[in-house]
Each structure stands twice: as C-alpha cells, then as structure tokens.
C-alpha cells in the first residue's frame, strides 16, 4: 500500500446484506471525509483464500436445505453464550487476521459481520492493540453473537436495541443509534423518477411492490400474483433482483396482466419505494431499513432464519408492518390494507417517528473523532 489505510471495513458474503452495508458505509465516509483512505475487504477472502468460496457455497446450501440447523446454532449462541466462542476457534484464521492487521495498520477498523468482530477483538486482546473497533450490527437485534469485549463502539438499528445492549452492560456512550447503513439515495428527498414504467403508473393508484433482495427470493407461481391484477386502482411492481429465472418465468406467465410490472435487477429501488404504498418483502435488515427510511409499511413474507424472525419481532411490536405466513394470509392482508386508508396512515406515522429517532451521521462523526486523537 502506497498510502496508509485510515479506515478498513471488513465484511463477509454470508448473504448480501453485510456487503450492502459495507458499500453504504464506505460511500458515506468518502462523501463526508474525502481526505481519508478507506479500504473495504472480504475478511474470509483475506484470511482463508483457498477455502472462502467453498465456505460461502456451504452457507447458501445450509440456509436453503437445513435452516433448522442454522437456527439451532443461532439461538444456542444467544441462550448459551459459551457456544459463541466456537466462532473464533480457528487458529489459522486468527493468525491470518493478525498478519493482515499488522500488514495494513489501519487507524480504525469497522466490522459488518459478527465473527469478524470476534477475531479483531481477539487480536486486540492478545496484542494489546489500541486500534478502535466499530461493529455495525446489520439486523434489528442485540444478540450475543455481535458482542465482544474489545469493541469500542456499536452502531445499532434502533433506540430500543440500544436499550437492550445497555441491559447487557454495554455503556450508553459506546452505542450509536445510526440505523442500519443504507445507500444515501434513500435519504434524499427527490420525487423525480427515471424508471418510465413507474412514472406511467396513474397517480390515483396505490402501488404494491414485491422485493426479493439481491437473490430475488419471492413466490414463483403465477397464482401467487394473478389476483393482484384484479385489485381496483392498484398497480403491483415485482422486483426479481438477480433471479433471472424468476424474471423470465413471471414475464411469460403474467404477460397479459395490465396492472402488474415485472422488473429485474435495478439500482433504482429507492425510486420505486418513493412511489410505493405497501412493500412485500423478506425480512432482511437492509430491506426493512430501506422501507423504514422510505416510510413504507411492509408486509413481511414468512421468516425462516433466526435473524429474520428477530427482525420481525421488532417490526410487529412497533407496528411498522405485518407478517404474512401464507399466500392466503398475504392476499387478505393486502386487500385489507388497500381498503383501510387510516390503518395505512397509522403505519406510515409510526415509520416516520422511528426515522426521526435515528442519527445516521453519528458513524462518520465518531470516525472523525477517533482519527483526531
């Protein structure tokens, strides 16, 4: 490296969310502190260069075919804290972590994945390093898997999560209520739309948007959607992300539906959400925060993974949205929300209130303060 790294952001591709948060953090730092040298990297690509691809592939197979195993381990770490120690047992990964940190000598380390925080904390504990570690929690959770003794600051999703961490003996001034970092476009108050098919939706129509995240995890049968075409004064937008197979399938099957729009991968989700009245999505932390900042009530498709279930608990408790556990239930909820404008507005007011309690700028301010010392 020709220039010393000021901030390194370490992440892992166990799901797209951690990478999305990493990208948002880097852009935010560059926009506000352009003089800094900011580097992001895949932690496992650096520490396990020969096996990281197999690790990620194995993870995808696990959550696809053996969710019960994933969830059992997820909740074991919460209920039996010593189980979490298994995450950082690899001596080879630790040694690689040590070599990487000592090679690059960053002035601040940001982690967007819990195990990464664990290895960096272990490094600090063993070496006495004073490099500040900021852990950015990428779901609406306060679970033990994110908590490590050498963490200097935690960025959390909501004020309630801050309170839960304080009950776990984390000092208040070390917890920043930044919300989950998302792209700056979601915070920009701009009603201009560049997507022609969205611009063409009649102003009087309610818009129902289905989003499946980067992998496009959505219902894949024609009957899951065709009834939406019959809702009066409503348009449905289905964003399939990188799921080209689903995109082609729905394009063919729903070709004659006048009130359904099929979109593939797009970087304009922020524009779509500006025009959306009801979002239907999987309960990933990033998607939920995009909806919160956009003030769009969410119908959450049945959660399957532990962190998704925890995200749902918060959304339900704060009345920001509702969970649909079956296609039949989804239909009933959408029809009810379309008909009940007052209920829809109640959800939007709750979203607006939560958004007003977030301080996304605190992360950059904290980095600036740390680098001044």
pLDDT above 90 (res 60): no
For residues 50 and 27, state if they share a domain.
yes
pTM of the model: 0.93
Question: Stretch 287-304: mean pLDDT, rounded?
Answer: 93
C-alpha 243, offset from chain centre: 18
Question: Stretch 344-359: mean pLDDT, rounded?
Answer: 95
Going from the C-alpha of 249 to that of each of 200, 243, 254, the distances in angstroms are 24, 10, 8
For residues 152 and 238, state if they share a domain.
no
Could you tell me which residues come within 8 angstroms of residue 102 by beta carbon, excluding any fewer than 6 positions away? none
For residues 195 and 214, state if they share a domain.
yes
Percent of the chain exceeding pLDDT 90 equals 77
Q: Identify the DSSP state of 146.
A: G
**For residue 212, what pLDDT is reported?**
81
Question: Stretch 70-95: mean pLDDT, rounded?
Answer: 91
Q: Kindly state whether residue 262 falls inside one of the protein's structural domains.
A: yes
Say how many domains are in the chain.
2
For residues 270 and 175, state if they share a domain.
no
User: How many C-beta atoms lie closer than 10 Å to residue 343's C-beta?
Assistant: 14
Question: Stretch 171-191: mean pLDDT, rounded?
Answer: 92
Question: Stretch 13-17: mean pLDDT, rounded?
Answer: 83
CA distance 115 to 104: 20
Q: Kindly state whether residue 1 falls inside one of the protein's structural domains.
A: no
CATH number, domain with residue 133: 3.40.50
Question: Stretch 290-301: mean pLDDT, rounded?
Answer: 95
For residues 156 and 142, state if they share a domain.
yes
For residues 212 and 95, state if they share a domain.
no
Could you tell me which residues come within 8 angstroms of residue 128 by beta carbon, excluding any fewer than 6 positions away? none
For residues 334 and 299, the answer to whether their CB atoms sit within 8 Å is yes
For residues 157 and 33, state if they share a domain.
yes
For residues 242 and 113, state if they share a domain.
no
Least confident of 89-103, 157-171, 201-215: 201-215
Question: Stretch 100-114: mean pLDDT, rounded?
Answer: 96
**For residue 1, what pLDDT is reported?**
45
**For residue 216, what pLDDT is reported?**
60
**For residue 134, what pLDDT is reported?**
98
Question: 176, 179, 102: which is closest to 134 by C-alpha?
Answer: 176
Q: Kindly state whether residue 152 falls inside one of the protein's structural domains.
A: yes
CATH number, domain with residue 293: 3.40.50.2000
Q: Kindly state whether residue 294 falls inside one of the protein's structural domains.
A: yes
CA distance 258 to 63: 36
CA distance 321 to 160: 17
Q: Kindly state whether residue 301 falls inside one of the protein's structural domains.
A: yes
**For residue 190, what pLDDT is reported?**
73
Question: Stretch 311-339: mean pLDDT, rounded?
Answer: 93
C-alpha 284, offset from chain centre: 5
Confidence of residue 217 (pLDDT cuts 50, 70, 90): confident
For residues 152 and 227, state if they share a domain.
no
Question: Stretch 232-257: mean pLDDT, rounded?
Answer: 91
Q: Kindly state whether residue 52 falls inside one of the protein's structural domains.
A: yes
For residues 350 and 362, state if they share a domain.
no
pLDDT above 80 (res 281): yes
For residues 158 and 236, state if they share a domain.
no
Q: Identify the DSSP state of 113.
A: S
Straight-line distance from the first to the last Cα atom of the chain, in angstroms, rounded to the nearest whole number = 23
Q: Kindly state whether residue 2 falls inside one of the protein's structural domains.
A: no
Q: Kindly state whether residue 43 falls inside one of the protein's structural domains.
A: yes
For residues 244 and 170, state if they share a domain.
no
Residue range(s) defining the domain that contains residue 211: 188-356
């Amino acid at each position: 490296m020709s220039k010393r790294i000021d901030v390194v952001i370490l992440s892992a591709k166990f799901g797209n969310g951690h990478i999305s948060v990493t990208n948002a953090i880097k852009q935010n730092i560059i926009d506000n502190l352009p003089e800094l040298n900011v580097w992001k990297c895949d932690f496992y690509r650096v520490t396990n260069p020969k096996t990281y691809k197999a690790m990620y592939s194995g993870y995808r197979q696990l959550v696809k075919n053996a969710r019960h195993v994933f969830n059992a381990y997820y909740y074991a770490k919460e209920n039996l804290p010593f189980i979490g120690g298994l995450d950082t047992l690899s001596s080879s990964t630790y040694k690689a972590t040590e070599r990487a940190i000592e090679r690059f000598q960053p002035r601040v380390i940001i982690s967007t994945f819990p195990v990464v925080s664990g290895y960096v904390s272990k490094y600090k504990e063993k070496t006495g390093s004073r490099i500040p570690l900021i852990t950015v929690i990428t779901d609406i959770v306060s679970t033990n898997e994110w908590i490590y003794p050498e963490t200097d600051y935690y960025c959390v999703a909501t004020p309630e999560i801050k309170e839960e961490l304080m009950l776990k003996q984390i000092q208040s001034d070390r917890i920043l209520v930044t919300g989950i970092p998302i792209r700056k476009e979601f915070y920009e108050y701009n009603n201009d739309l560049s997507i022609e098919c969205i611009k063409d939706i009649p102003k009087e129509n309610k818009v129902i948007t289905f989003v499946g995240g980067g992998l496009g995890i959505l219902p894949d049968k024609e009957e899951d959607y065709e009834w939406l075409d019959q809702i009066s004064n409503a348009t449905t937008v289905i964003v399939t992300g990188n799921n080209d197979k689903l995109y082609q399938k729905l394009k063919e099957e729903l070709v004659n539906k006048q009130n359904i729009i099929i979109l593939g991968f797009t970087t304009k989700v922020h524009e779509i959400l500006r025009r959306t009245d009801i979002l239907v999505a999987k309960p990933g932390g990033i998607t939920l925060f995009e909806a919160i900042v956009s003030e769009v009530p969410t119908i959450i498709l049945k959660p399957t993974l532990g962190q998704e279930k925890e995200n749902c608990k918060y959304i339900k408790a704060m009345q920001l949205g509702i969970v649909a556990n079956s296609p039949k239930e989804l239909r009933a909820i959408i029809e009810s929300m379309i008909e009940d404008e007052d209920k829809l507005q109640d959800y939007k007011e709750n979203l607006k209130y939560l958004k007003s309690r977030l301080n996304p700028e605190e992360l950059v301010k904290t980095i600036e303060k740390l680098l001044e010392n």
